[in-house]
Chain A
């Protein structure tokens, strides 16, 4: 009996089976999607967690006491680690290359803290808790989407972000401490982002989320810093001349 005969005999039953199977195996429909608020998005379905940030995706698959962690950069697998968790410790039993080939190990299995092997699980749990504990309508301070005036965000000791309109510059180093290196991006709302220089390239929404979370984090820190007294006279290294924090 071919497909045409099957359709003729039991058209509605076949359609029903197709619909049910499509619903059951549709990966998008059944996935749970949670944001951690600091630039990463988590997706989970069944025994799998996906973590996406900028150009990197990590997939963790849990089978009983075994975790398979696979890392992807720009959609291409870079390698996997297979670990067995026993209480508070985990043992790496195999490391796989980009095409799934087993990489030569150091000899004896490597033992590490279970926290490392279960990092995606812990972070996903924290993101779920954060989402469920956030009051309805509550929003943290955010960077403007397309500001008319120049906005400055001191991201770290040697990186400052400048935002004007849809253009965002990541400036590393400064005149007082060369070399100064600038990466220029053009944002298309929250959909995508184009790196204008160096090496032009278009990125997807996860890169937009990462860039916006960098700016949002500083915007929030600036609001918090304005409301609490600074802690001074603590020991520390000499401040970098590029450090605008």
Chain B
């Protein structure tokens, strides 16, 4: 009898494994990586867009779009829209617990472009990923010929301190596996630093309080932040014109 029960359990496990192999959820998804540190996946009528700790999911059914946002794996909100040409109407909003939120009539109509952001972004990412693949091939071929093309990837674990002027008030410094996001500066206090330790491209640990380990999407976002400043520094977009009107430069701005 015990042997029969064991056989039944084993049969059930094999059945479950076989059914899992038959509908491989992850395997059927197509994954494309964007340049800004985000990853897009799509399958059937659904698009997932993930960057750092945030994932947005858009499900398309006829003229209706269901958009959900997840932060650290937890659902924060879902909105349903109906798209009519260039416009979209919000038909329902729910919070993370699934409770329907009250809506005002004034905020119910919005631009279809905003609602279809994932759809347009995916199309652009699919097109740009083809260009990135071509770029990688060209780089490999030119490297084989002894010609090095400029790269805009931040080093993985540099021995010397690398500095990246990220924005007017945020500077990133990288040394070894440690990355510091420094907000503010001595001239414009308060100064606040968040320290991360990178484990290659797999995961990342926030050493500063509150300590926490993040997955590879956070690594991709941090690496994209550093790489984006290298593009600006290289002047790919042309030299920054001088003598234009603007606000006084912020003292922490190293760009």
Contact B63 A67 (CB under 8 A): no
Residues of chain A from 105 to 128 with CB closer than 8 A to chain B in the complex: 114, 118, 121, 124-125, 128
Cβ contact of A87, chosen from B46, B116, B168, cutoff 8 A: B168
Interfacial chain B residues near A67, Cβ < 8 Å: 247
Contact B126 A231 (CB under 8 A): yes
Contact A235 B42 (CB under 8 A): yes
CB within 8 Å for A62 and B86 given contacts A234-B126, A236-B119: no
Select the residue from B42, B62, B237, B244 with max chain A CB neighbours within 10 A: B244
Contact B247 A85 (CB under 8 A): yes
Cβ contact of B237, chosen from A48, A124, A129, A173, cutoff 8 A: A129
A207 → chain B, closest Cβ, in Å? 20
Interfacial chain A residues near B250, Cβ < 8 Å: 85-87
**Which of A9-17, A74-82, A156-164, A193-201 touches B?**
A156-164
Contact A87 B238 (CB under 8 A): no
A190 an interface residue at 8 Å Cβ cutoff? Answer: no
A154 → chain B, closest Cβ, in Å? 12
B151 an interface residue at 8 Å Cβ cutoff? Answer: no
Contact A238 B119 (CB under 8 A): no
A-B pair number, CB within 8 angstroms: 107
Residues of chain A from 134 to 172 with CB closer than 8 A to chain B in the complex: 156-159
Cβ contact of B244, chosen from A86, A121, A231, A240, cutoff 8 A: A121
Contact B42 A234 (CB under 8 A): yes
Interfacial chain B residues near A118, Cβ < 8 Å: 246-247
B222 → chain A, closest Cβ, in Å? 17
A117 → chain B, closest Cβ, in Å? 8
Contact B45 A65 (CB under 8 A): no
B88 → chain A, closest Cβ, in Å? 9
B132 → chain A, closest Cβ, in Å? 15
Contact A132 B86 (CB under 8 A): no
CB within 8 Å for A88 and B169 given contacts A46-B245, A62-B246: yes
Contact A158 B85 (CB under 8 A): yes
CB within 8 Å for A132 and B85 given contacts A231-B123, A235-B44: no
Interfacial chain A residues near B85, Cβ < 8 Å: 156-159, 173, 177, 240, 242-243
CA distance A65 to B65 in the complex (A): 42
Residues of chain A from 31 to 75 with CB closer than 8 A to chain B in the complex: 44, 46-49, 60, 62, 64-67
CA distance A234 to B42 in the complex (A): 8
B120 → chain A, closest Cβ, in Å? 9
Contact B86 A158 (CB under 8 A): yes
Total number of B residues with any Cβ neighbor in A under 8 Å: 42
CA distance A30 to B250 in the complex (A): 28
Query: Which of chain A's residues has its CB closest to B184's CB?
Result: A87
Interfacial chain A residues near B47, Cβ < 8 Å: 234-235
B112 an interface residue at 8 Å Cβ cutoff? Answer: yes
A99 an interface residue at 8 Å Cβ cutoff? Answer: no
B21 → chain A, closest Cβ, in Å? 24
Contact A237 B65 (CB under 8 A): yes
CA distance A62 to B248 in the complex (A): 8
Query: Which of chain A's residues has its CB closest to B240's CB?
Result: A125
A88 → chain B, closest Cβ, in Å? 4
Contact B238 A133 (CB under 8 A): yes
A242 → chain B, closest Cβ, in Å? 6
Interfacial chain B residues near A177, Cβ < 8 Å: 84-85
Cβ contact of A88, chosen from B123, B167, B244, cutoff 8 A: B167
Contact B241 A236 (CB under 8 A): no
B33 an interface residue at 8 Å Cβ cutoff? Answer: no
Contact B245 A132 (CB under 8 A): no
Residues of chain A from 224 to 242 with CB closer than 8 A to chain B in the complex: 228, 231, 234-238, 240, 242
Pairs across A and B, CB under 8 Å, 6 listed: A64-B247, A88-B170, A89-B169, A159-B85, A234-B47, A235-B122
Give the interface of B toward A (CB within 8 A).
Answer: 42, 44-47, 58, 60, 62-65, 83-87, 112, 116, 119, 122-123, 126-127, 167-170, 184, 188, 237-241, 244-248, 250, 252-253
Q: With A177-B84, A237-B64 given, can you name 12 additional A-B contacts, CB distance below 8 Å? A: A47-B245, A49-B245, A86-B188, A87-B188, A87-B250, A132-B241, A157-B112, A173-B85, A231-B123, A235-B42, A235-B46, A235-B122
Give the interface of A toward B (CB within 8 A).
Answer: 44, 46-49, 60, 62, 64-67, 85-89, 114, 118, 121, 124-125, 128-129, 132-133, 156-159, 173, 177, 228, 231, 234-238, 240, 242-243
Which 5 pairs show the lowest CB-CB distances between chains A and B? A158-B85, A87-B169, A129-B238, A88-B169, A236-B119
